Structure 1
Amino acid sequence: MTKPRSPQQDSASARVRRDERSLRRGLTLDAALREFLRHPSPWLIGVTLVAALIGRILVGDWQPTDALVPAVMLAAFPVFEWIVHVTVLHWRPRRLGPIPIDSELARKHREHHVDPRNIPLIFIPTKTLSALVVLLVALAAFAFPRTGLGLTFLITITVLGLTYEWTHYLIHTDYKPKHSLYRAIWRNHRHHHYKNEHYWFTVTTSGTADRLFGTHPDPATTDTSPTARNLHPA
Protein backbone atom coordinates (compact mmCIF):
# COMPACT_ATOMS: atom_id res chain seq x y z
CA MET A 1 0.00 0.00 0.00
CA THR A 2 1.39 3.39 -1.01
CA LYS A 3 2.04 5.72 1.89
CA PRO A 4 -0.04 8.94 1.56
CA ARG A 5 2.00 12.02 0.67
CA SER A 6 2.10 14.87 3.17
CA PRO A 7 0.95 18.39 2.18
CA GLN A 8 4.60 19.50 2.53
CA GLN A 9 5.75 16.84 0.05
CA ASP A 10 3.00 17.82 -2.40
CA SER A 11 3.98 21.48 -2.06
CA ALA A 12 7.66 20.70 -2.65
CA SER A 13 6.85 18.53 -5.68
CA ALA A 14 4.67 21.28 -7.15
CA ARG A 15 7.46 23.80 -6.64
CA VAL A 16 9.97 21.54 -8.40
CA ARG A 17 7.55 21.05 -11.33
CA ARG A 18 7.05 24.82 -11.60
CA ASP A 19 10.82 25.37 -11.62
CA GLU A 20 11.26 22.70 -14.33
CA ARG A 21 8.58 24.35 -16.48
CA SER A 22 10.30 27.71 -15.95
CA LEU A 23 13.61 26.26 -17.14
CA ARG A 24 11.99 24.90 -20.28
CA ARG A 25 10.41 28.28 -21.05
CA GLY A 26 13.50 30.25 -20.04
CA LEU A 27 14.12 30.82 -16.33
CA THR A 28 11.78 33.29 -14.62
CA LEU A 29 12.99 35.75 -12.00
CA ASP A 30 10.74 34.05 -9.46
CA ALA A 31 12.37 30.66 -10.03
CA ALA A 32 15.83 32.27 -10.10
CA LEU A 33 15.19 33.95 -6.75
CA ARG A 34 14.09 30.69 -5.15
CA GLU A 35 17.33 29.04 -6.22
CA PHE A 36 19.36 32.08 -5.12
CA LEU A 37 17.92 31.83 -1.61
CA ARG A 38 18.93 28.18 -1.30
CA HIS A 39 22.58 29.20 -0.95
CA PRO A 40 24.34 30.49 2.20
CA SER A 41 25.96 33.60 0.74
CA PRO A 42 22.78 35.73 0.31
CA TRP A 43 21.63 34.82 3.82
CA LEU A 44 24.97 35.64 5.45
CA ILE A 45 25.15 39.01 3.71
CA GLY A 46 21.42 39.65 4.22
CA VAL A 47 21.50 38.96 7.97
CA THR A 48 24.48 41.30 8.32
CA LEU A 49 22.59 43.97 6.38
CA VAL A 50 19.46 43.66 8.54
CA ALA A 51 21.51 43.79 11.75
CA ALA A 52 23.40 46.87 10.52
CA LEU A 53 20.16 48.56 9.48
CA ILE A 54 18.52 47.94 12.86
CA GLY A 55 21.65 49.18 14.63
CA ARG A 56 21.77 52.30 12.45
CA ILE A 57 18.16 53.19 13.25
CA LEU A 58 18.74 52.69 16.98
CA VAL A 59 21.94 54.76 17.03
CA GLY A 60 20.48 57.70 15.11
CA ASP A 61 22.94 60.62 14.95
CA TRP A 62 22.29 61.28 11.26
CA GLN A 63 24.78 63.69 9.64
CA PRO A 64 25.62 64.78 6.06
CA THR A 65 28.51 62.31 5.90
CA ASP A 66 25.94 59.51 6.11
CA ALA A 67 24.95 60.45 2.56
CA LEU A 68 28.51 61.07 1.40
CA VAL A 69 29.85 57.61 2.35
CA PRO A 70 27.35 55.64 0.20
CA ALA A 71 27.82 58.05 -2.71
CA VAL A 72 31.62 57.63 -2.67
CA MET A 73 31.38 53.84 -2.25
CA LEU A 74 28.88 53.52 -5.09
CA ALA A 75 31.08 55.58 -7.41
CA ALA A 76 34.20 53.60 -6.47
CA PHE A 77 32.62 50.13 -6.57
CA PRO A 78 33.18 49.40 -10.30
CA VAL A 79 36.89 50.14 -9.89
CA PHE A 80 37.05 48.10 -6.66
CA GLU A 81 35.29 45.21 -8.39
CA TRP A 82 37.75 45.35 -11.31
CA ILE A 83 40.81 45.41 -9.02
CA VAL A 84 39.57 42.47 -6.93
CA HIS A 85 38.74 40.45 -10.05
CA VAL A 86 42.16 41.05 -11.63
CA THR A 87 44.41 40.82 -8.57
CA VAL A 88 42.56 38.41 -6.24
CA LEU A 89 40.28 36.20 -8.32
CA HIS A 90 42.76 35.82 -11.19
CA TRP A 91 45.72 35.38 -8.86
CA ARG A 92 48.31 33.05 -10.38
CA PRO A 93 49.31 30.41 -7.77
CA ARG A 94 52.79 30.97 -6.37
CA ARG A 95 55.07 29.37 -3.82
CA LEU A 96 57.22 30.91 -1.13
CA GLY A 97 59.69 28.07 -0.71
CA PRO A 98 57.56 25.07 0.29
CA ILE A 99 54.55 27.26 1.16
CA PRO A 100 51.84 27.65 -1.54
CA ILE A 101 50.33 31.14 -1.81
CA ASP A 102 46.86 30.69 -3.20
CA SER A 103 43.62 31.90 -1.61
CA GLU A 104 40.31 30.04 -1.50
CA LEU A 105 38.79 32.83 -3.60
CA ALA A 106 41.35 32.29 -6.38
CA ARG A 107 41.02 28.48 -6.28
CA LYS A 108 37.23 28.57 -6.41
CA HIS A 109 37.30 31.17 -9.17
CA ARG A 110 39.46 28.92 -11.32
CA GLU A 111 36.91 26.14 -10.76
CA HIS A 112 34.18 28.61 -11.69
CA HIS A 113 35.88 29.29 -15.03
CA VAL A 114 36.13 25.55 -15.72
CA ASP A 115 32.37 25.15 -15.16
CA PRO A 116 30.60 28.54 -15.27
CA ARG A 117 27.16 26.88 -14.92
CA ASN A 118 27.99 25.14 -11.63
CA ILE A 119 25.75 27.22 -9.36
CA PRO A 120 27.54 26.75 -5.98
CA LEU A 121 30.78 27.98 -7.57
CA ILE A 122 29.10 31.24 -8.61
CA PHE A 123 28.84 32.47 -5.02
CA ILE A 124 31.53 33.82 -2.70
CA PRO A 125 32.84 30.79 -0.75
CA THR A 126 31.20 30.57 2.69
CA LYS A 127 34.44 30.32 4.68
CA THR A 128 35.95 33.34 2.95
CA LEU A 129 32.71 35.32 3.17
CA SER A 130 32.43 34.61 6.92
CA ALA A 131 35.91 36.01 7.46
CA LEU A 132 35.07 39.04 5.29
CA VAL A 133 31.92 39.75 7.32
CA VAL A 134 33.95 39.70 10.55
CA LEU A 135 36.50 42.05 8.97
CA LEU A 136 33.80 44.43 7.73
CA VAL A 137 32.08 44.51 11.12
CA ALA A 138 35.45 45.29 12.74
CA LEU A 139 36.04 48.11 10.23
CA ALA A 140 32.57 49.50 10.90
CA ALA A 141 33.22 49.41 14.64
CA PHE A 142 36.75 50.81 14.79
CA ALA A 143 37.69 52.61 11.54
CA PHE A 144 35.11 55.40 11.64
CA PRO A 145 34.85 58.43 13.94
CA ARG A 146 31.17 57.76 14.66
CA THR A 147 29.32 54.52 15.32
CA GLY A 148 26.52 55.68 13.06
CA LEU A 149 28.89 56.35 10.19
CA GLY A 150 30.46 52.91 10.60
CA LEU A 151 27.00 51.33 10.41
CA THR A 152 26.22 53.40 7.30
CA PHE A 153 29.37 51.93 5.73
CA LEU A 154 28.31 48.42 6.73
CA ILE A 155 24.82 48.88 5.27
CA THR A 156 26.26 50.18 2.00
CA ILE A 157 28.87 47.44 1.58
CA THR A 158 26.34 44.68 2.29
CA VAL A 159 23.85 46.17 -0.20
CA LEU A 160 26.65 46.24 -2.79
CA GLY A 161 27.59 42.68 -1.85
CA LEU A 162 24.04 41.41 -2.31
CA THR A 163 23.82 43.26 -5.62
CA TYR A 164 27.05 41.62 -6.78
CA GLU A 165 25.97 38.12 -5.72
CA TRP A 166 22.53 38.42 -7.33
CA THR A 167 23.86 39.91 -10.59
CA HIS A 168 26.69 37.39 -10.90
CA TYR A 169 24.35 34.50 -10.12
CA LEU A 170 21.68 35.65 -12.57
CA ILE A 171 24.19 36.08 -15.41
CA HIS A 172 25.17 32.43 -15.09
CA THR A 173 21.59 31.09 -15.06
CA ASP A 174 19.23 30.50 -17.98
CA TYR A 175 17.38 33.76 -17.28
CA LYS A 176 17.11 35.66 -20.55
CA PRO A 177 17.90 39.41 -20.55
CA LYS A 178 14.78 41.47 -21.18
CA HIS A 179 16.09 45.01 -20.75
CA SER A 180 18.98 46.77 -22.46
CA LEU A 181 20.91 47.63 -19.27
CA TYR A 182 20.93 44.07 -17.94
CA ARG A 183 21.58 42.71 -21.45
CA ALA A 184 24.75 44.84 -21.64
CA ILE A 185 25.92 43.65 -18.20
CA TRP A 186 25.07 40.03 -19.11
CA ARG A 187 26.95 40.23 -22.42
CA ASN A 188 30.00 41.87 -20.81
CA HIS A 189 30.50 39.09 -18.26
CA ARG A 190 29.67 36.33 -20.74
CA HIS A 191 32.47 37.62 -22.97
CA HIS A 192 34.86 37.26 -20.03
CA HIS A 193 33.96 33.59 -19.55
CA TYR A 194 33.41 32.43 -23.12
CA LYS A 195 35.49 34.81 -25.25
CA ASN A 196 38.64 35.93 -23.47
CA GLU A 197 39.46 35.88 -19.73
CA HIS A 198 41.92 38.76 -20.10
CA TYR A 199 39.13 41.30 -20.68
CA TRP A 200 35.68 42.34 -19.37
CA PHE A 201 36.36 42.06 -15.64
CA THR A 202 33.39 44.03 -14.32
CA VAL A 203 30.26 42.15 -13.21
CA THR A 204 27.64 44.62 -11.96
CA THR A 205 28.17 47.21 -14.69
CA SER A 206 28.46 46.97 -18.46
CA GLY A 207 32.18 47.74 -18.43
CA THR A 208 32.65 51.11 -16.72
CA ALA A 209 35.98 50.19 -15.12
CA ASP A 210 36.96 48.03 -18.10
CA ARG A 211 36.82 51.09 -20.33
CA LEU A 212 38.87 53.03 -17.78
CA PHE A 213 41.60 50.37 -17.62
CA GLY A 214 41.59 49.37 -21.29
CA THR A 215 40.05 45.91 -20.89
CA HIS A 216 36.91 46.51 -22.94
CA PRO A 217 37.89 45.71 -26.56
CA ASP A 218 35.55 45.12 -29.47
CA PRO A 219 34.54 41.44 -29.15
CA ALA A 220 34.34 41.14 -32.93
CA THR A 221 38.06 41.86 -33.28
CA THR A 222 39.21 40.03 -30.13
CA ASP A 223 40.67 36.54 -30.36
CA THR A 224 38.89 33.75 -28.51
CA SER A 225 41.25 32.62 -25.76
CA PRO A 226 42.05 28.90 -25.49
CA THR A 227 42.44 29.30 -21.70
CA ALA A 228 39.17 31.06 -20.86
CA ARG A 229 37.98 27.84 -19.22
CA ASN A 230 41.39 26.90 -17.80
CA LEU A 231 43.08 29.82 -16.08
CA HIS A 232 46.85 29.73 -15.62
CA PRO A 233 47.56 26.35 -17.22
CA ALA A 234 50.91 24.85 -16.28
Structure 2
Amino acid sequence: MMNDRPTTTSHDTAAHSTPRPGRAPRAIRRSLSLRAAAYEFSRHPSPWMIATVFVGALAARFAVGDWQLTDALVPVVILAAFPLVEWIIHVTVLHWRPRHLGPLTIDSELARKHREHHVDPRDIPLIFIPPKSLLLTIVALVAIALLAFPRTGLGLTFLLTITTLGLLYEWTHYLIHTDYKPKHALYRAIWRNHRHHHYKNEHYWFTVTTSGTADRLLGTAPDPATTPTSPTARNLHAD
Protein backbone atom coordinates (compact mmCIF):
# COMPACT_ATOMS: atom_id res chain seq x y z
CA MET A 1 0.00 0.00 0.00
CA MET A 2 1.08 3.56 -0.56
CA ASN A 3 2.22 5.62 2.40
CA ASP A 4 -0.24 8.37 3.28
CA ARG A 5 2.47 10.99 3.31
CA PRO A 6 2.09 13.25 0.24
CA THR A 7 5.70 13.06 -0.94
CA THR A 8 7.48 9.75 -0.67
CA THR A 9 9.35 9.03 -3.88
CA SER A 10 12.70 10.19 -5.21
CA HIS A 11 10.99 10.83 -8.57
CA ASP A 12 8.64 13.30 -6.92
CA THR A 13 11.56 15.05 -5.20
CA ALA A 14 13.47 15.29 -8.45
CA ALA A 15 10.53 16.69 -10.38
CA HIS A 16 9.84 19.15 -7.59
CA SER A 17 13.42 20.43 -7.37
CA THR A 18 14.19 20.60 -11.09
CA PRO A 19 11.83 22.83 -13.10
CA ARG A 20 11.30 22.27 -16.79
CA PRO A 21 13.35 24.54 -19.09
CA GLY A 22 11.87 28.00 -19.43
CA ARG A 23 9.63 27.69 -16.38
CA ALA A 24 10.16 29.05 -12.90
CA PRO A 25 9.76 26.52 -10.09
CA ARG A 26 6.30 26.58 -8.52
CA ALA A 27 6.05 24.79 -5.18
CA ILE A 28 3.22 24.14 -2.75
CA ARG A 29 4.12 24.72 0.88
CA ARG A 30 4.58 21.69 3.08
CA SER A 31 2.30 21.13 6.09
CA LEU A 32 -0.36 23.13 4.32
CA SER A 33 -3.36 24.25 6.35
CA LEU A 34 -6.82 24.19 4.80
CA ARG A 35 -6.96 27.98 5.05
CA ALA A 36 -3.64 28.37 3.23
CA ALA A 37 -4.78 25.88 0.59
CA ALA A 38 -7.98 27.87 0.03
CA TYR A 39 -5.99 31.09 -0.35
CA GLU A 40 -3.75 29.54 -3.00
CA PHE A 41 -6.80 28.05 -4.72
CA SER A 42 -8.38 31.50 -4.98
CA ARG A 43 -5.34 32.87 -6.82
CA HIS A 44 -5.96 30.82 -9.98
CA PRO A 45 -8.32 31.68 -12.84
CA SER A 46 -10.41 28.54 -13.29
CA PRO A 47 -12.20 28.69 -9.90
CA TRP A 48 -13.14 32.31 -10.59
CA MET A 49 -14.31 31.52 -14.11
CA ILE A 50 -16.54 28.69 -12.90
CA ALA A 51 -17.78 30.70 -9.91
CA THR A 52 -18.72 33.61 -12.19
CA VAL A 53 -20.88 31.34 -14.34
CA PHE A 54 -22.41 29.82 -11.20
CA VAL A 55 -23.37 33.23 -9.78
CA GLY A 56 -24.79 34.34 -13.13
CA ALA A 57 -26.77 31.13 -13.52
CA LEU A 58 -28.06 31.38 -9.95
CA ALA A 59 -29.25 34.97 -10.44
CA ALA A 60 -30.87 34.07 -13.76
CA ARG A 61 -32.51 30.97 -12.25
CA PHE A 62 -34.25 32.98 -9.54
CA ALA A 63 -35.20 35.68 -12.05
CA VAL A 64 -36.80 33.12 -14.39
CA GLY A 65 -38.61 31.21 -11.65
CA ASP A 66 -40.86 28.48 -13.08
CA TRP A 67 -39.76 25.87 -10.55
CA GLN A 68 -41.01 22.37 -11.33
CA LEU A 69 -40.41 18.82 -10.13
CA THR A 70 -38.01 18.18 -13.00
CA ASP A 71 -35.68 20.82 -11.54
CA ALA A 72 -35.02 18.41 -8.68
CA LEU A 73 -34.59 15.50 -11.06
CA VAL A 74 -31.78 17.12 -13.09
CA PRO A 75 -29.24 17.27 -10.22
CA VAL A 76 -30.09 13.70 -9.19
CA VAL A 77 -29.42 12.37 -12.70
CA ILE A 78 -26.21 14.39 -13.10
CA LEU A 79 -24.87 13.34 -9.70
CA ALA A 80 -25.59 9.69 -10.48
CA ALA A 81 -23.82 9.92 -13.84
CA PHE A 82 -20.91 12.12 -12.76
CA PRO A 83 -18.48 9.39 -11.57
CA LEU A 84 -18.82 7.60 -14.92
CA VAL A 85 -18.57 10.86 -16.91
CA GLU A 86 -15.46 11.83 -14.94
CA TRP A 87 -13.89 8.44 -15.70
CA ILE A 88 -14.69 8.69 -19.42
CA ILE A 89 -13.27 12.22 -19.70
CA HIS A 90 -10.11 11.22 -17.88
CA VAL A 91 -9.53 8.16 -20.04
CA THR A 92 -10.57 9.46 -23.47
CA VAL A 93 -9.77 13.19 -23.29
CA LEU A 94 -7.02 13.70 -20.71
CA HIS A 95 -5.14 10.50 -21.57
CA TRP A 96 -5.58 11.01 -25.30
CA ARG A 97 -2.58 9.68 -27.22
CA PRO A 98 -1.59 12.18 -29.96
CA ARG A 99 -2.58 11.02 -33.44
CA HIS A 100 -0.90 12.04 -36.67
CA LEU A 101 -2.87 12.68 -39.83
CA GLY A 102 -0.28 13.44 -42.48
CA PRO A 103 1.52 16.62 -41.34
CA LEU A 104 -1.19 17.33 -38.75
CA THR A 105 -1.05 16.27 -35.12
CA ILE A 106 -4.39 15.77 -33.43
CA ASP A 107 -3.84 16.68 -29.81
CA SER A 108 -5.93 18.91 -27.54
CA GLU A 109 -4.68 21.43 -25.01
CA LEU A 110 -6.35 19.41 -22.27
CA ALA A 111 -4.35 16.30 -23.21
CA ARG A 112 -1.07 18.22 -23.53
CA LYS A 113 -1.46 19.95 -20.19
CA HIS A 114 -2.48 16.71 -18.52
CA ARG A 115 0.71 15.03 -19.74
CA GLU A 116 2.66 17.92 -18.25
CA HIS A 117 0.67 17.48 -15.04
CA HIS A 118 1.82 13.85 -14.84
CA VAL A 119 5.44 14.92 -15.35
CA ASP A 120 5.20 17.25 -12.35
CA PRO A 121 2.05 16.64 -10.28
CA ARG A 122 3.15 19.39 -7.87
CA ASP A 123 3.26 22.18 -10.44
CA ILE A 124 0.31 24.24 -9.23
CA PRO A 125 -0.95 25.85 -12.48
CA LEU A 126 -1.02 22.45 -14.18
CA ILE A 127 -3.43 21.12 -11.54
CA PHE A 128 -6.23 23.36 -12.81
CA ILE A 129 -8.27 23.20 -16.01
CA PRO A 130 -6.45 25.34 -18.63
CA PRO A 131 -8.31 28.68 -19.01
CA LYS A 132 -8.61 28.48 -22.81
CA SER A 133 -10.12 25.00 -22.70
CA LEU A 134 -12.32 25.97 -19.79
CA LEU A 135 -13.66 29.00 -21.66
CA LEU A 136 -14.64 26.81 -24.62
CA THR A 137 -16.26 24.34 -22.24
CA ILE A 138 -18.23 27.11 -20.55
CA VAL A 139 -19.48 28.41 -23.90
CA ALA A 140 -20.59 24.90 -24.85
CA LEU A 141 -22.33 24.32 -21.51
CA VAL A 142 -24.16 27.65 -21.66
CA ALA A 143 -25.30 26.83 -25.20
CA ILE A 144 -26.56 23.42 -24.02
CA ALA A 145 -28.34 25.01 -21.07
CA LEU A 146 -30.13 27.55 -23.25
CA LEU A 147 -30.84 25.44 -26.33
CA ALA A 148 -31.12 21.77 -25.33
CA PHE A 149 -33.79 21.97 -22.62
CA PRO A 150 -37.54 22.46 -23.03
CA ARG A 151 -37.58 25.18 -20.36
CA THR A 152 -35.05 27.96 -19.74
CA GLY A 153 -35.36 27.38 -16.02
CA LEU A 154 -34.50 23.71 -16.41
CA GLY A 155 -31.45 24.58 -18.49
CA LEU A 156 -30.31 27.00 -15.80
CA THR A 157 -30.75 24.28 -13.18
CA PHE A 158 -28.51 22.09 -15.32
CA LEU A 159 -25.91 24.87 -15.51
CA LEU A 160 -26.04 25.42 -11.74
CA THR A 161 -25.47 21.74 -11.11
CA ILE A 162 -22.58 21.48 -13.57
CA THR A 163 -20.80 24.57 -12.24
CA THR A 164 -21.19 23.33 -8.66
CA LEU A 165 -19.58 20.04 -9.65
CA GLY A 166 -16.92 21.94 -11.60
CA LEU A 167 -15.91 23.89 -8.49
CA LEU A 168 -15.94 20.70 -6.44
CA TYR A 169 -13.72 18.99 -9.02
CA GLU A 170 -11.19 21.85 -9.15
CA TRP A 171 -11.02 22.13 -5.36
CA THR A 172 -10.71 18.38 -4.76
CA HIS A 173 -8.12 17.86 -7.48
CA TYR A 174 -6.10 20.83 -6.26
CA LEU A 175 -6.24 19.77 -2.61
CA ILE A 176 -5.13 16.21 -3.42
CA HIS A 177 -1.93 17.58 -4.95
CA THR A 178 -1.08 19.79 -1.98
CA ASP A 179 0.46 18.71 1.30
CA TYR A 180 -2.80 19.12 3.15
CA LYS A 181 -3.19 15.94 5.17
CA PRO A 182 -6.52 14.06 4.93
CA LYS A 183 -8.45 14.15 8.19
CA HIS A 184 -11.63 12.26 7.23
CA ALA A 185 -12.10 8.76 5.88
CA LEU A 186 -13.99 9.76 2.72
CA TYR A 187 -11.45 12.36 1.64
CA ARG A 188 -8.59 10.00 2.55
CA ALA A 189 -10.06 7.38 0.19
CA ILE A 190 -10.41 9.94 -2.62
CA TRP A 191 -6.91 11.28 -1.92
CA ARG A 192 -5.34 7.82 -1.94
CA ASN A 193 -7.17 6.77 -5.11
CA HIS A 194 -5.82 9.70 -7.13
CA ARG A 195 -2.35 9.47 -5.62
CA HIS A 196 -2.17 5.85 -6.81
CA HIS A 197 -2.97 7.07 -10.32
CA HIS A 198 -0.04 9.50 -10.31
CA TYR A 199 2.58 7.65 -8.30
CA LYS A 200 1.70 3.97 -8.75
CA ASN A 201 0.19 3.27 -12.17
CA GLU A 202 -1.44 5.69 -14.62
CA HIS A 203 -3.52 2.92 -16.19
CA TYR A 204 -5.78 2.68 -13.14
CA TRP A 205 -7.68 4.84 -10.63
CA PHE A 206 -9.16 7.41 -13.03
CA THR A 207 -11.79 8.98 -10.79
CA VAL A 208 -10.86 12.18 -8.94
CA THR A 209 -13.77 13.47 -6.85
CA THR A 210 -15.17 10.10 -5.82
CA SER A 211 -13.51 7.25 -3.97
CA GLY A 212 -13.33 5.04 -7.05
CA THR A 213 -16.95 4.15 -7.74
CA ALA A 214 -16.54 4.14 -11.52
CA ASP A 215 -13.11 2.53 -11.25
CA ARG A 216 -14.55 -0.42 -9.37
CA LEU A 217 -17.40 -0.68 -11.86
CA LEU A 218 -15.09 -0.59 -14.89
CA GLY A 219 -12.25 -2.71 -13.54
CA THR A 220 -9.65 0.00 -13.00
CA ALA A 221 -9.39 -0.26 -9.20
CA PRO A 222 -6.99 -3.16 -8.60
CA ASP A 223 -5.33 -3.98 -5.31
CA PRO A 224 -2.40 -1.52 -5.10
CA ALA A 225 -0.33 -4.09 -3.21
CA THR A 226 -0.35 -6.45 -6.19
CA THR A 227 -0.27 -3.81 -8.95
CA PRO A 228 3.14 -3.15 -10.51
CA THR A 229 4.51 0.37 -10.36
CA SER A 230 4.42 1.80 -13.86
CA PRO A 231 7.66 3.25 -15.29
CA THR A 232 5.60 5.70 -17.37
CA ALA A 233 3.33 7.16 -14.68
CA ARG A 234 5.32 10.40 -14.98
CA ASN A 235 5.69 10.19 -18.76
CA LEU A 236 2.38 9.23 -20.37
CA HIS A 237 2.46 7.19 -23.58
CA ALA A 238 6.22 6.65 -23.42
CA ASP A 239 7.42 3.28 -24.69
TM-score normalised to structure 2 length:
0.88
Letter in 1 for 2:125: P
Of 162, 165, 169, which aligns to 2:170?
A: 165
Matched, 1:126 2:95: no
- Report the counterpart of residue 205 of structure 2 in structure 1: 200
Matched, 1:210 2:215: yes
How far the C-alpha of 1:96 sits from its partner, in A, is 1.2
Structure 1, unpaired ranges of 5+: 1-21
- Report the counterpart of residue 155 of structure 1 in structure 2: 160
- Report the counterpart of residue 115 of structure 2 in structure 1: 110
Q: What aligned pairs does 1:12-161 form with structure 2 within 5 A after superposition?
A: 23=29, 26-161=31-166
How far the C-alpha of 1:70 sits from its partner, in A, is 0.4
For residues 167 and 159 of structure 1, the distance between their equivalents in structure 2, rounded to whole angstroms, comes to 12
DSSP-derived class of the 1:95 partner: strand
Q: Deviating runs (4+, > 4 A) in structure 1?
A: none
Letter in 2 for 1:32: A
For residues 115 and 209 of structure 2, the distance between their equivalents in structure 1, rounded to whole angstroms, comes to 20
How far the C-alpha of 1:231 sits from its partner, in A, is 0.2
Matched, 1:183 2:188: yes
RMSD: 1.2
Letter in 2 for 1:145: P
Deviations 1:107-147 (A, max 9, x none): 00000000000000000000000011111111111000000
Greater RCO (CA < 8 Å, at least 6 residues apart): 2
Matched, 1:229 2:234: yes
How far the C-alpha of 1:90 sits from its partner, in A, is 0.3
Identity of aligned residues (%): 78
Number of matched pairs: 213
How far the C-alpha of 1:174 sits from its partner, in A, is 0.6
How far the C-alpha of 1:98 sits from its partner, in A, is 1.1
- Report the counterpart of residue 6 of structure 2 in structure 1: none
Letter in 1 for 2:200: K
How far the C-alpha of 1:84 sits from its partner, in A, is 0.2
Decide which structure has greater helix share: 1
Letter in 2 for 1:138: A
Deviations 1:66-90 (A, max 9, x none): 0000000001000000000000000
TM-score normalised to structure 1 length:
0.89
Letter in 2 for 1:120: P
The structure with more radius of gyration = 1
How far the C-alpha of 1:214 sits from its partner, in A, is 0.1
For residues 73 and 185 of structure 1, the distance between their equivalents in structure 2, rounded to whole angstroms, comes to 19
How far the C-alpha of 1:23 sits from its partner, in A, is 4.1
Structure 2, unpaired ranges of 5+: 1-27
DSSP-derived class of the 2:202 partner: coil
How far the C-alpha of 1:99 sits from its partner, in A, is 1.0
- Report the counterpart of residue 7 of structure 1 in structure 2: none
